[in-house]
Structure 1
């Protein structure tokens, strides 16, 4: 059984070389910490917040993220598809999620607000009522996803095939609708 650590603040820590203590973290805040290329596999984070942290290419295999918020974090290439799906709830604000992989996850109601999601992968993901407000989705793939009631207002540079995804009730800004028609090679002016 893992040690339980509650309501702690971890600030300006470098976990690239030395890893974070293997534990279950509840109500903890991580500020300006560097986890890049580190190992958080198998850990539990519940009601935690990561602020201005770098988790790029961190091993998160079988990690539990329950009600975890990432604010202003660098999460390049993170393999969310390998996390524990038990109680998975995430929120992202102003994060760099380029090349992140979310394949096969249930991310209902997940908020991606003002995030850089270029070249991210969403394959067979349940994104019911997800929010992509102000996100850059250039070269991001949505394949066989549930995008029903998802909010893509003010999301940009996306290409989404309505024939490959469930999209009933999804919202888009009229100025970016061309991303839904890209495969038809239409001249839209």
Structure 2
């Protein structure tokens, strides 16, 4: 049985022991909640925000995130590829998304601002006009992705092969071009 929840604040809750009831959450805020290892399969989150929450290793099979903001959250190892892509729109600010999987998703204009994205996977992903401002992309994988118009101006530790991605109009700082040329093993000074 599914619950409909609107405009509620969930604060300082630990859902690892008593799970959040399955349902549709509209206009809700989750602050400083422990949601790690929870199963959100079939949940719908619309116009919600997660602030300073731990969502590491959550299962999000067929979960909907429609206009959802994650701020200061820990989302280690989350497989976003499994979520429902219908009306999906998310933004991430000051989040730890290490080892998360975004393969095959349409993430046009998604914000990844000041995020830890080490070992994140973006294979066959549409990131057109996304923004990786001030994000750490060490060992993140970009293969066969649309990076046209994407902002990497202040991103760092990236290794992106221009021959394996669409990159027309992508923005990079001239001081960080080494991350585009690593496969050629050039010495740049």
TM-score scaled by length of structure 1: 0.99
Cross-structure match for 1:111: 111
Show the 5 A alignment for 1:119-130: 119-130=119-130
Counterparts of residues 98-177 of structure 1 (less than 5 Å): 98-177=98-177
Distance 1:57 1:143 in 2: 23
Structure 1 partner of 2:41: 41
C-alpha contact (below 8 Å) 1:100/1:121 kept by paired residues? yes
Q: Equivalent residue of 1:67, what SS?
A: strand
Return the alpha-carbon distance in structure 2 between the equivalents of residues 185 and 161 of structure 1: 12
Asked whether the equivalents of residues 17 and 38 of structure 1 are also in contact (C-alpha less than 8 Å), the reply is no
Q: Structure 1 unaligned runs (5+)?
A: none
* Cα distance in 2, alignment partners of residues 3 and 79 from structure 1: 24
Report the count of equivalent residues.
Answer: 189
1:73 is matched with 73
| Equivalent residue runs for 1:178-189 within 5 Å | 178-189=178-189
How far does residue 18 in structure 1 lie from its aligned partner after superposition?
Answer: 1.5
Q: Please report how far the alpha carbon of residue 27 of structure 1 lies from its aligned counterpart in structure 2 after TM superposition.
A: 0.3
Shift of the alpha carbon at 1:120? 0.3
Which deviates the most, 16-25 or 160-169?
Answer: 16-25
- SS in structure 2 of the partner of residue 181 of structure 1: helix
Tell me the equivalent position of 1:23: 23
Question: What secondary structure is seen at the aligned counterpart in 1 of 2:164?
Answer: coil
